[in-house]
Structure 1
Amino acid sequence: MTAPCAQPRTHGPGAKDVRVVVVGSGLAGLTAACDLADAGFAVTVLEARSRLGGATFSFHRDGLTVDNGQHVALRCCTAYLALLERLGSADGLDMQDRFRVPVLAPGGRFAELRRADVRAPLHLAPAIARYSALRPLDRLRVVRAALALRTLDPDDTALDAVSFGDWLDRHGQNAATRDRLWNLITVAALNGECSQVSLASAAKVFRTALLDSADGADIGIPRWPLEELHVRPAEKYLLERAARVRTHSPVRGITPMRERFLVRMDDEVLDADAVVLAVPPDTALRVSPGRAGLRQWQLSRLGAVPIVNVHVVYERPVTRLPFAAAVSSPIQWMFDRTAAAGLTSGQYLALSLSAAETWLTTPASALRDVFLAELARFFPEAATARCSRFFVTRQRRATFRQGPGSNDLRAAQRTALPGLVLAGSWTATGWPDTMEGAVRSGHRAADLVAAHLAGGVSR
């Protein structure tokens, strides 16, 4: 698998006189803007909020630099990794030499998933064979199911109508196996348990990351905050190419005017030859003209699933693990963010809770009671170390609901209006709602705009 945009793109002379507005500054919008600026177009990025970054941003609290959520990149995320190389920030991602996930269970029990240095799919056989969180017979059944999963085509539309959980039932996967293995992946990658996600989306995740290549699932964890990893580098990249980047600039509507567009804000109207709408689906519906062909009934059915992040700072270190998954516990994934946050003493752990409807409205005080007790169960030092800071961040609409039938609801990036295109991980990228999907959508949006404008010039 190769990166779709490892090098800057160019689209011919005369582009500098063509104005393109990119609405939204998440990964999709920033990627599209970088591509279009490299092509020589006059790019303006409009962001409604006071900061860039969309769903992947950092903020400052009590001397810490905190990411709004814990994001990782796998080696199969070639478009995102190529973007970091392009922005000069690839050193900010700590990539494993080989896939390895510590898996914790209460009572101090420890298991591990680690790939072997052999060809796929044999690279995972030793990991499953030694995975002590499962009984030996269940491990054998997992291998059989994995081999069957490898034969599925994620692009088969029939698979999108089927629940991954139902498929696992038919392939001998019991509740313990789903809880201690399959859900570790689907909850993290698809923001839903096996029973809640479509078979097509699950097949895409497992085949791309774990089954089709030996190194696809190697995990890259940001050693820098997200604002330093891709937000600020992208802004710098754009400004160096004479692009305009504007915050506090909400777009209220887009009006097609012959072969151009009027982009309306509160006190200003911008004239554009093309527009990239890199915003959530509800915003795209609100600001796009009716002639664009976006269907409210379709996009509203995508829904949304929350992610809750629990942030715990101890006065002294309680674990040496840089990250770990957990089973039979409300803790799903734990990350040591001490260095990345700029903490000079003690330890800062971030707990990522996906498919978090249960925790979304739970008061922080109740979350503190639950998760400090859970951390003490896993790490003896946490039982005696003082928690100096505890806070919670909540992403109410972290991803769309990637359940059965969801892929059929995702909008095409090309709208019915030439020159108006969509970008975002919720669009029909063929990837889950991830950073990789967002970057790929940005590349696709830029390509659609460039092709349209090239056709307009030729006429």
Structure 2
Amino acid sequence: MTAPCAQPRASGAGPTEAHVVVAGSGLAGLTAACDLADAGFAVTLVEARARLGGATFSFQRNGMTVDNGQHVVLRCCTAYQGLLDRLGSSAGMDVQDRFHVPVIAPGGRFSELRRTDAPAPLHLASAIARYKALRPADRVRVLRAALALRSLDPDDAALDSHSFGDWLVRHGQNDATRDRLWNLITVAALNGDVSQVSLASAAKVFRTALLDAADAADIGIPRWPLEDLHVRPAEKYLLERGGQIRTHSPVRGVAPVRGRFLVRLDDEVLDADAVVLAVPPETAARVCPERAGLQQWRLARLGVVPIVNVHVVYERPVTDLSFVAAVSSPVQWVFDRTAAAGLTEGQYLTVSLSAAETWLAAPASTLREVFLAELGRLFPDAATTPHSRFFVTRQRRGTFRQSPGSNRLRADQHTALPGLVLAGSWTATGWPDTMEGAVQSGHRAADLVFTQLAGGVSR
């Protein structure tokens, strides 16, 4: 991982009389607010909804704690893990000692991808060579393409114009390798099929996570609900440092007035020295003054891609795997969330479905029919074990559409108005739309405010 973890600034480093409004309480907003409070600013965090957390939150359902979706990190996600360390909740993240992904291949065959201690990129060579989901000839194809992919520079803007799928075809990949290996990673990391995502974004994912450092892709899975992992700890952290938090408070407009900003809410106007807009792109475009220089047409073209999660609670355990991927199946990834949800009996499985346009509008009855049958095929015990609960969560705005050309549409975090900055995983962080990208954007937003108000030096 090449991006260092941003560190909180020393308390009192900024002018305590300066007031900063942070709009949006997702990971980007929470990170920026905590950074600014540490720097000595008076911080008001405003959130449109009744709860904090943005796109990563938990809720209660029938006595269990449910995350709105399954979120994981990799060892290379140092900014997010650094945030957990800072909030005192890193014990809630379980990171593998060594990258290992169980895979259920066509026909119910069990395979796996497991790294060795060899230096990158050799650490995955034996995993590919033994990957039973592919024929031996296709494994060779994958190894050749992986070496070619390692030569690409994710920062080369020209790559953003090309499709990762087209690049794979040019490098000898067939339907089997795309379906059973490349999409295994691409759909989960970029919320899109290889044919739909930018080559630049794919190069960033594969090089940073899998090809440049041996331990970068070691997988971290929350053992606590997201609410306990970062939402409530960040709320507590901010309040302990004098920050104010207001829910049910959507921002309706931001107006620059003599070097300051008036932030209009439904019931009052807040006077601020600086504003961090950690909100979705269309909200930022709507509330920003014209002088901020946001090009609304660019942000509108980013689009969105949904993520759907299927939740099933079985009366008895049906698998001993903590998580597993499935290829050539409607099921993509399955996670055991029994302990995290607070259940002491049965087994609670979540099926995470990225690039889920097919399932977004499908009725729950259809999802029940398809996925209960498929889970029964993947886990034979599930076919004969009654389930006590079945429900579906849908994130219509899972990520922005990380298609060819999307990186050119992402907004810079600074605007034409000093003191008005943007944050969010959709901004130009250099990372895909992930929790890591959100946290990095929050650190950068706080840095920009600090530089503009306190004369600090931006990283």
Q: Aligned residue for 2:141?
A: 141
Q: Aligned residue for 2:349?
A: 349
Partners of 2:5 and 2:78 within 8 A in 1: no
Over residues 332-358 of structure 1, what are the superposed CA-to-partner deviations in whole Å (9 max), with x where a residue is unaligned?
A: 000000000011110000000000000
Q: Aligned residue for 1:191?
A: 191
Partner Cα distance (1:286, 1:7) in 2: 32
Name the aligned partner's letter for residue 119 of structure 2. R
Partner Cα distance (1:217, 1:309) in 2: 23
Q: Aligned residue for 2:289?
A: 289
Partners of 2:307 and 2:353 within 8 A in 1: yes
Residues 42-441 of structure 1 aligned to structure 2 (within 5 Å) = 42-441=42-441
* SS at structure 1 position matched to 2:234: helix
* SS at structure 1 position matched to 2:389: strand
Q: Which runs of 5+ in 2 are unaligned?
A: none
Partner Cα distance (2:338, 2:352) in 1: 15
- Aligned-pair identity (%): 80
Partner Cα distance (1:14, 1:139) in 2: 55
Partner Cα distance (1:331, 1:355) in 2: 12
Partners of 1:42 and 1:243 within 8 A in 2: yes
* SS at structure 1 position matched to 2:261: strand
Name the aligned partner's letter for residue 343 of structure 1. L
Partners of 1:106 and 1:377 within 8 A in 2: no
Deviation of residue 11 (structure 1)? 7.8
Name the aligned partner's letter for residue 238 of structure 1. L
Deviation of residue 6 (structure 1)? 5.2
* SS at structure 2 position matched to 1:16: coil
* SS at structure 2 position matched to 1:334: strand
Deviation of residue 105 (structure 1)? 2.6
Partners of 1:429 and 1:440 within 8 A in 2: yes
Partner Cα distance (2:364, 2:355) in 1: 18
Partners of 1:25 and 1:47 within 8 A in 2: yes
Partners of 1:307 and 1:396 within 8 A in 2: yes
Over residues 149-182 of structure 1, what are the superposed CA-to-partner deviations in whole Å (9 max), with x where a residue is unaligned?
A: 0000001010000000000000000001000000
Partner Cα distance (2:7, 2:287) in 1: 32
Deviation of residue 13 (structure 1)? 5.0
Partner Cα distance (1:125, 1:19) in 2: 53
Partners of 1:183 and 1:194 within 8 A in 2: yes
* SS at structure 2 position matched to 1:426: coil
Partner Cα distance (2:107, 2:237) in 1: 49
Partners of 1:50 and 1:248 within 8 A in 2: yes
Partners of 1:4 and 1:443 within 8 A in 2: no
Name the aligned partner's letter for residue 51 of structure 1. R
Over residues 323-376 of structure 1, what are the superposed CA-to-partner deviations in whole Å (9 max), with x where a residue is unaligned?
A: 000011000000000000011110000000000000011000010000000001
Deviation of residue 8 (structure 1)? 2.2
Partners of 1:58 and 1:67 within 8 A in 2: yes
* SS at structure 2 position matched to 1:262: strand
Over residues 78-119 of structure 1, what are the superposed CA-to-partner deviations in whole Å (9 max), with x where a residue is unaligned?
A: 100100000000000010000000001354310100001110
* SS at structure 2 position matched to 1:359: helix
Deviation of residue 7 (structure 1)? 3.6
Over residues 223-251 of structure 1, what are the superposed CA-to-partner deviations in whole Å (9 max), with x where a residue is unaligned?
A: 00000000000001101101111111111
Deviation of residue 269 (structure 1)? 0.7
Partners of 1:256 and 1:262 within 8 A in 2: yes
* SS at structure 1 position matched to 2:325: strand
CA RMSD of aligned residues (A): 1.2
* SS at structure 1 position matched to 2:396: strand
Partner Cα distance (1:12, 1:334) in 2: 45
Residues 432-451 of structure 1 aligned to structure 2 (within 5 Å) = 432-451=432-451
Name the aligned partner's letter for residue 223 of structure 2. R
Name the aligned partner's letter for residue 225 of structure 2. P
Q: Aligned residue for 1:452?
A: 452
Change (3 A) 1:6 1:448: closer
Deviation of residue 2 (structure 1)? 6.3
Q: Which runs of 5+ in 1 are unaligned?
A: none
Over residues 376-410 of structure 1, what are the superposed CA-to-partner deviations in whole Å (9 max), with x where a residue is unaligned?
A: 10111001100110000000111000000000000
Name the aligned partner's letter for residue 276 of structure 1. V
Name the aligned partner's letter for residue 251 of structure 2. V
Partner Cα distance (1:260, 1:45) in 2: 17
Partners of 2:262 and 2:272 within 8 A in 1: yes
TM-score if structure 1 supplies the norm length? 0.98
Deviation of residue 64 (structure 1)? 1.0
Partner Cα distance (2:433, 2:36) in 1: 23
Deviation of residue 10 (structure 1)? 3.1
Name the aligned partner's letter for residue 115 of structure 2. R
**Count of residues in correspondence between the two structures:** 456
* SS at structure 2 position matched to 1:331: coil
Partner Cα distance (1:376, 1:11) in 2: 54
Name the aligned partner's letter for residue 96 of structure 2. Q
* SS at structure 2 position matched to 1:373: helix
